[in-house]
């Protein structure tokens, strides 16, 4: 399913994706049907694809696939400043080892930010705010990042330009290889003609 920015996936709040699923998804016809729930997390401000389980068994198995890193996650971000074409970032997050690969697909000049980049990101670990911290750490924060961006370059009211684009994995029951995508948001398309 698509997660919009500005909504929590779950937690002790009324307005969460987890609370909305019950009214918006059909129950599974299988015996172990349960209340649908997200099987991974996206930050409050991040948009994109969110995987949801509708049976006890599927939730358990999908959680294990994420834990074992058997699901390939691809994100896209808009970053600030002139970057190398591709690279790997291995800086620790919360004193734990982690790794993110990045690849720049298009760069455009910007009056306010000098240069904006459309960057594909592949996190190999799932630390909290990993991609945001990694990009900020190499001097190329994500556009709209109020927590890890440069104060003089904060873009107010436009949200965070970080999008969970795709998930690729082998279906645990049918063994079919699934490639699930959530197309680019409009705010990305307005910057990069490559996406039009």
Catalytic site positions = 43
Minimal CA–CA distance to 66: which of 146, 125, 153?
A: 125
Q: What angle do CA 79, 151, 112 make, to 5 degrees?
A: 55
Query: Alpha carbon 136 to chain centroid distance?
Result: 16
At 92 the three-state DSSP class reads coil
Question: Alpha-carbon dihedral of residues 120, 123, 127, 130, nearest 10 degrees?
Answer: -30
Distances in Å between the alpha carbon of 167 and those of 54, 138, 161? 18, 26, 18
């Amino acid at each position: 399913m698509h997660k919009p920015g500005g909504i929590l996936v779950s937690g002790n709040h009324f307005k969460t994706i987890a609370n909305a699923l019950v009214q918006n998804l059909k129950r599974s016809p299988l015996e172990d049907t349960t209340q649908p729930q997200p099987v991974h997390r996206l930050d409050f401000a991040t948009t994109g694809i969110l995987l949801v389980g509708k049976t006890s068994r599927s939730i358990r198995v999908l959680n294990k696939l994420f834990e074992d890193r058997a699901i390939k996650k691809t994100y896209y971000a808009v970053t600030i400043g002139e970057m190398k074409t591709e690279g790997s970032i291995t800086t620790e997050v919360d004193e734990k080892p982690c790794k993110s690969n990045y690849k720049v697909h298009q760069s455009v000049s910007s009056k306010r930010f000098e240069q904006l980049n459309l960057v594909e990101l592949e996190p190999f670990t799932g630390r909290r705010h990993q991609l945001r911290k990694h990009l900020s750490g190499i001097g190329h924060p994500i556009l709209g990042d109020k927590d890890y961006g440069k104060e003089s370059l904060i873009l107010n009211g436009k949200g965070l330009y970080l999008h969970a684009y795709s998930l690729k994995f082998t279906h645990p029951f049918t063994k079919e290889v699934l490639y699930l995508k959530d197309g680019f948001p409009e705010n990305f398309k307005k910057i990069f003609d490559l996406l039009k």
